[in-house]
Amino acid sequence: MTPAPRRRPAGAAPPAPARAAAVRVLERVERDAAWADLALEAELGRRRLAPRDAALATELVFGTLRWQRYLDWILAPHSRRRLAALDPRVRVVLRVSAYQLAFLERVPPFAAVNDAVSLARGRPGVAGYVNAVLRALARRGPREREPAPPRDPLEALATRCSCPTWLAARWVERWGAVEAEALMRALCERPPLTLRANTLRTTREALGARLAAEEGLAWRPTTWAPEGLVVGPGGAPGAWRAFAEGAFAVQDEASMLVGHLLAPRAGETVADVCAAPGTKTTHLAQLMEDRGRVLALDPAPARLARVREAAARLGTASVEALDGTVEALAPRFREACDAVLVDAPCSNLGVLRRNPEVKWRRQPADLAASARGQGRILAAAAAMVRPGGRLVYATCSLEPEENAEVAGAFLAAHPGFHPDPPAAFPLPLDADGVLRCLPHRHGTDGFTAVRFRRA
CA-to-CA distance for 263 and 164, rounded, in angstroms? 37
Cβ contacts of 62 within 8 Å, gap of 6 or more: 36, 190, 354, 356
| H or E element at residue 32 | helix 17-32
Sheet of 248-250, strand order: 219-221, 228-231, 193-197, 248-250
Phi, psi of 388 (to 5 degrees): 85, -5
156 SS3 class = helix
End-to-end CA distance of the chain: 69
Other CB atoms within 10 Å distance of the CB of residue 236: 14
CA-to-CA distance for 104 and 60, rounded, in angstroms? 9
86 SS3 class = coil
Q: Which of 329, 418, 344, 337 is nearest to 377 (CA)?
A: 344
Cβ contacts of 13 within 8 Å, gap of 6 or more: none
Is there a cis peptide before residue 277, judged by omega within 30 degrees of 0?
yes
Q: How many Å is the maximal CA-CA distance in the chain?
A: 77
* Choice among 188, 274, 346, 396 that is catalytic: 396
CA-to-CA distance for 164 and 133, rounded, in angstroms? 25
Tell me if residue 396 is catalytic.
yes
Helical pair 88-103 and 109-120, crossing angle rounded to 10 deg? 180
Tell me the residue length of the chain: 455
State how beta strands 337-343 and 319-323 pair. Answer: unpaired
Enumerate the active-site residues.
Answer: 396
